[in-house]
Structures are given as structure tokens and as C-alpha cells.
């Protein structure tokens, strides 16, 4: 189950179960409208109701829970878990190869964290030097 995998990934980084933050009383009230719908019409009504529900609630970032996730992977982790735990099942990731590729990228980034930090610092210094005009950047001619 892709949703459960996304929820597990969220919980691994935050220590908090995702379901507690999604399935609050308001969500239950919103989705309970399906209880009064005939079984044969539920899929159609669900497809009409779920976009409204998902537009009013976003999945939280792992950083909102105080998770100490490296800056090099925090946005990637959010995108990965949110794509798997999308409330609208039609928008969930279904490609395990892509999910595993993203996990592999995170591992590589973490293994190279020191080099990444050095690169970012050098980039920050170059930009600061350009802003201050102390970096000689060759003029572009046509």
C-alpha cells in the first residue's frame, strides 16, 4: 500500500503518526458524507468530494514536527512522502522504481553531506562576492 509507505516514511522522520494529523474530526466529518450515499454512487461522489477536501488541507512538512532532517534531503523527503500519501488516490505515486530511486538519491546525498555543505558554502561566497563586486566576472560580448 503506497499510502502506508508514505505514512511510514513520515513517521520515521518525525516520530509522529501521519494519520493523527490527517484524520482529525473535521476530516472524518467531511468524508462521512459518503455514509449517506448509495453504494453504487460512492466512487462517483468520492471523486467529487475528495478534491475539495484535499484543497483545504495540505500534508505537513517533516520539519514542522521538529525533525532534524538534513537540508540536503528535507524537501526531497517531503515531496516523496507527500506523493505517496496524497489524500486523493488518483495523485499518488505508483511507481516503485521512482520511489526507490528517490531513496537512493537521499542516501547518496547523505553519504556526501560534507562535500555538499562545502559546495553550498563556496556557492554562497561566490554570490556574495558577485554582489559586492569583488569577483572578477568576465563581461559577455556578442
Are the C-beta atoms of residues 4 and 84 closer than 8 Å to each other?
no
Whether residue 142 has pLDDT greater than 60: no
Whether residue 137 has pLDDT greater than 60: no
What is the predicted pLDDT for the residue at 140?
59
Tell me the whole-structure pTM to 2 decimals. 0.70
What is the predicted pLDDT for the residue at 98?
92
Q: What is the mean pLDDT of residues 2-31?
A: 86
Amino acid at each position: 500500500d503506497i499510502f502506508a509507505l508514505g505514512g511510514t516514511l513520515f513517521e520515521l522522520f518525525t516520530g509522529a503518526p501521519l494519520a493523527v494529523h490527517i484524520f482529525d474530526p473535521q476530516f472524518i466529518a467531511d468524508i462521512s458524507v459518503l455514509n449517506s450515499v448509495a453504494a453504487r454512487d460512492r466512487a462517483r461522489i468520492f471523486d467529487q468530494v475528495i478534491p475539495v477536501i484535499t484543497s483545504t488541507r495540505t500534508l505537513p512538512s517533516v520539519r514542522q514536527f521538529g525533525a532534524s532532517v538534513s537540508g540536503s534531503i528535507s524537501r526531497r523527503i517531503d515531496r516523496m512522502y507527500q506523493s505517496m500519501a496524497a489524500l486523493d488516490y488518483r495523485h499518488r505515486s505508483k511507481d516503485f522504481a521512482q520511489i526507490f530511486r528517490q531513496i537512493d538519491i537521499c542516501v547518496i546525498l547523505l553519504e556526501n553531506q560534507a562535500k555538499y555543505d562545502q559546495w553550498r558554502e563556496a556557492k554562497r561566497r561566490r554570490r556574495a562576492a558577485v554582489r559586492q563586486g569583488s569577483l572578477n566576472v568576465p563581461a559577455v560580448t556578442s
